[in-house]
Chain A
Amino acid sequence: MTRFFVLAFSLGLASACTCHPVVTPPPEPGAFIMLFPDPDAAIVSQVSVSTPSGTVQLANEYAFTTLTPNRSPSPVKIMNGADADRTFQSVLAGLPPKPLHFSLYFELGSDELTSQSRTELADVLRTVRDRAAPFVMVVGHTDTVGAPASNYELGLRRAKIVRDLLVGAGLDASAIEATSHGEGNLLVPTPDDTAEPRNRRVEIVIQ
């Protein structure tokens, strides 16, 4: 344990001093794995770390284990959060921004946005403009009114309408992917031939 605090400390110094971009080599081959807090997490963070001779679970913030060849993972320990954040500041800061998700809704059987979604389109456009090297995925969905094949086409029309709006606003066409799930991926499960406004949507992921 002492060894890893010493390692963390020396790494912290190395990253604080940019005039010497020399990474202190760890004393021996192996791996170090640490779980970090994630304010955005929708699920409980947990990692299992396995070698042929054993498994440990990391389930707490700043929990870590080390792997050395032909050994079980070291028992789990917790590092001081401030030390851990400082040690790995550079790699954590290098993570790209969190992707954002939007849904826009459509009138029955139509590729026309609802009036509320026309308003929300401004948020989508602003988000795309604010990103460096944006990539956007647009997936069209329908409710279960009509045949699956025509709903696939309707979903695709909806996705392409949104794609064209984004391209019209200046986004490179190669940075957008428009696809359809038709009625195959209902947000609100319904029987066949059921009009459901919440299912008539495009889901937009902005990365």
Chain B
Amino acid sequence: MVAAARLAAAVLVFACATPRPGAGQSEGTGHIKTSSGAAFILRHNDSLPATAGDVVYESDGLKTGADGHLGVTLKDDTRLSLDPNTEVQLHSFVYAPAERRFGFVLKVVRGVVAYVSGRIAQFAPDAIHLETPDGILGIRGTRLVIRVQP
């Protein structure tokens, strides 16, 4: 019993110590493709001006001001567009087709967002959740607009 528990503990430690499959392969979750006006990446309580080519990471937010627009493409080919006065929060993004691991959770906090689904919607549609303050969207694809007034 004790031996079994030790073995289980050892296996657990090994599992935790093993690098996540695919970790280090992919830097970031996607990229800013277009940015105009007041447009920002929200990262660790900072608000960084967003420029075309910038890397977007899992758990980043995106925010536009009164004259701001943002266009973003994520690694699975998901595309997002933000109109002015819009904020979204990327809660999770996992795209590891070689390991069959997928996940995408995006919250629209306020404003107007256009979304075109990417390959996660083809491989694992149940792994996608778009959230608004009052409800959750499950996505089989492909192109939609979400408008949120908080």
Contacts and interface: CB of A to CB of B under 8 A. Distances in A.
B75 to A, nearest CB: 7
A36 B52 contact: no
B141 A43 contact: yes
B97 A45 contact: no
Contacts of B84: 21, 23
A41 B122 CA distance: 10
A90 B140 CA distance: 24
A47 B138 contact: yes
Interface string A52-74: 00000010000000011111010
B42 interface: no
Given A94-B69, A96-B34, A31 B26 contact: no
B114 interface: yes
B139 interface: yes
B143 A45 contact: yes
Contacts of A133: 31-34, 52-53
Contact of B133 (A31, A45, A71, A205): A31
Contacts, number: 169
Contacts of A41: 141-143
Interface residues of A, number: 57
Interface of B: 25-27, 31-34, 52-53, 66-67, 69-73, 75, 77, 79-85, 97-98, 108, 112-114, 116, 118, 121-122, 132-150
18 contacts: A21-B67, A29-B150, A35-B144, A36-B114, A40-B142, A41-B142, A44-B141, A48-B138, A50-B135, A50-B136, A92-B114, A95-B71, A95-B114, A99-B118, A133-B53, A135-B73, A181-B98, A207-B73
